[in-house]
Amino acid sequence: MKTINSDNKCRKLRAWLHNMIDSRLGRRAAWIQDHLATCPRCQRRLAAIAKVDLALAALRSQPHSLDLLAKANAQAIAVLRHSLQKAPKANRLRTAVPRPRLLETLSCYRDSAINLAACLLILLLMKLGVFSSMSNFQTEGRKVLNQYYSTQAGQDLADDVFSA
């Protein structure tokens, strides 16, 4: 007898599989879904894939020691044929160390670069005269509002509002 929790997990897995297949295969997904609904072997394989995907996601979310790549490579080399274990490429795998990508290395300078870019943009806008044009718009806007108040409420009220 299935529990409610098990039904919920099945429902989530089916929804995940449906979305994954639909997003990757589009119109061809219908016949695959029909096959998956009736084939226990494919259902077991997809469940195994989901477990591997979950395990990989857990690995990505946790910090790793720096020798993780070396340990993984050593395990991979150990399952190769003996002749392949002694190959030069296998030796390179044994000594491989992780190298961060350039963007990962430079990510610590991201905020400084954004601030510098903002300052340069402001300087450029000032050089182009955008801010002086904005003050002209503000002055013209005041004149228009002053004229509106003087026609609607009288010149003395408009003078009181705009003299401050």
Which of the pair, 66 or 148, is modelled with greater confidence? 148
Residue 1: is its pLDDT beyond 60? no
Helices (H), the chain: 4-25, 29-38, 40-61, 68-78, 82-85, 88-95, 102-106, 110-128, 130-152, 155-163
pLDDT in tens, 29-65: 677 778 888 888 888 888 888 887 777 777 676 666 6
pTM of the predicted protein model: 0.28
Q: Where are the domains of the chain?
A: 1-62, 66-99, 130-164
How far apart are alpha carbons 105 and 47 in whole angstroms?
Answer: 37
Q: Which two tokens stand for residue 163?
A: 């003299």
User: How many residues in total does the chain contain?
Assistant: 164
Average pLDDT over residues 1-20: 73
In which band, very low, low, confident or very high, does the pLDDT at 157 lie, cut at 50, 70 and 90? confident
| Confidence at residue 131, expressed as pLDDT on a 0 to 100 scale | 66
Which of the pair, 127 or 28, is modelled with greater confidence? 127
Average pLDDT over residues 70-84: 77
In which band, very low, low, confident or very high, does the pLDDT at 159 lie, cut at 50, 70 and 90? confident
Residue 70: is its pLDDT beyond 70? yes
